[in-house]
Amino acid sequence: MANAGQSFQEFEQAGWEDPGVVAGYHEHMSGITTQSVDDLLDAAGVGKGSRVLDVATGAGYVAGAAARRGADPVGIDFSVAQVRMARERYPGLRFEQADAQALPFEPDSFDAVVIAFGMCHLPHPDLALREAFRVLKHGGRVAFTVWDTPEHAVGLGAVYGAVRAHGSMDVGLPVGPNFFLFSEPAPCTEALRGAGFVSPSFRQVPQVWRMATPDVLLEVMSEGTVRASAMLRAQSPGAREAIRAMIRQTLAAFKRGDHFEVPMPAVLAAAVKP
């Protein structure tokens, strides 16, 4: 739970410094989020020789994939714990702790800036886009992925729908941007153009969460996330059981043999620095 008076940025950063949260996200969510990495790099025009800034690098998956293409990536994250994991996983690559909203790089330094599922963790995502614009070379590209709306990202929709039905969304968390702010085309286009970019694009990228039982969803959201985890921990025991039952009911339609295949698409936005 957030501390009294804690800002959204302090809350998010403290959460992602927890080694248990970082390990849980890596173990359970990386199998989903990495499904859109190639689409993200393609949208940013990343290829051999590209100098790439991977913002909110997490465990370094995108930087690692860029390096496999022959690019020269630099990964940054506000979390020391994430940077440590990225360095362990990709010891030959460069990872640094840095703020996406105040990048420690000179103007016109990169051919591409990519942000995989990091926008929803920033208190001022518009600042991050302006910083991406600043450090990009002319003709460089920015691309970012976020989760699709809860109607399409069924795992997220199941959790939030169950909390609305049987618990409370108002549990005293620091106020931050709407988690799904960039899940629709208009806000993405507006933010990209506002930062100075041109030729914005927006599309869905299919992803699937394969899990043994619906209970995995609640366990992962409770242990391997920050904002959702705090919300779920704040529910009463009775509400949590009702939330669990509703999630089981919602996901029943996605059973495939001995496992469940839950749609968790990303949306991918990209644009060019003129």
CATH of the domain at 149: 3.40.50.150
Q: Give the H or E element holding residue 31.
A: helix 19-33
For 109-163, write each residue's pLDDT tens digit: 999 999 999 999 999 999 999 999 999 999 999 999 999 999 999 999 999 999 9
Query: Is 22 among the domain residues?
Result: yes
Is the pLDDT at 175 greater than 60? The verdict is yes
Q: 4: pLDDT confidence band, cut at 50, 70 and 90?
A: low
Query: Is 1 among the domain residues?
Result: no
By C-alpha distance, which of 179, 218, 229 is closest to 21?
Answer: 229
Considering the chain, what is the average pLDDT of its residues?
Answer: 95
Phi, psi of 245 (to 5 degrees): -65, -40
- The pLDDT value given to residue 156: 96
Instruction: Give the separation between CA 178 and CA 182, rounded to whole angstroms.
Output: 9
Give the pairing type, strands 198-205 and 94-97.
Answer: unpaired
Instruction: Give the separation between CA 39 and CA 51, rounded to whole angstroms.
Output: 17
The count of domains in the chain is: 1
Q: Give the H or E element holding residue 215.
A: helix 215-223
- Classified as helix, coil or strand, 202 is strand
Query: Is 92 among the domain residues?
Result: yes
For 203-225, write each residue's pLDDT tens digit: 999 999 999 999 999 999 988 89
Assigned token pair, 130: 């302006």
Higher pLDDT, 3 or 154: 154
Phi, psi of 90 (to 5 degrees): -130, 75
- Classified as helix, coil or strand, 95 is strand
What sign does the dihedral 54-224-227-178 (CA atoms) show?
positive
Is the pLDDT at 3 greater than 60? The verdict is no
* Residue % of the chain over a pLDDT of 70: 98
Query: Is 159 among the domain residues?
Result: yes
Query: Is 3 among the domain residues?
Result: no
Q: Tokens 């629709």 label which residue?
A: 184
Instruction: Give the separation between CA 48 and CA 50, rounded to whole angstroms.
Output: 6
Query: Is 193 among the domain residues?
Result: yes
- The pLDDT value given to residue 6: 81
- What pTM does this model have? 0.94
What is the arithmetic mean of pLDDT over 173-199?
95
Whether 180 contacts 150, CB under 8 Å: yes
Domain limits for position 210? 8-272
Greatest mean pLDDT among 13-27, 86-100, 221-235 lies in 86-100
Is the pLDDT at 200 greater than 90? The verdict is yes
What is the arithmetic mean of pLDDT over 18-40?
94
Give CA 142 to chain center in angstroms. 15
Give CA 268 to chain center in angstroms. 11
Q: 238: pLDDT confidence band, cut at 50, 70 and 90?
A: very high
String of DSSP letters for 219-268? HHHHHS-SHHHHHHHTS-HHHHHHHHHHHHHHHGGGEETTEEEEE--EEE
Query: Is 87 among the domain residues?
Result: yes
- The pLDDT value given to residue 1: 44
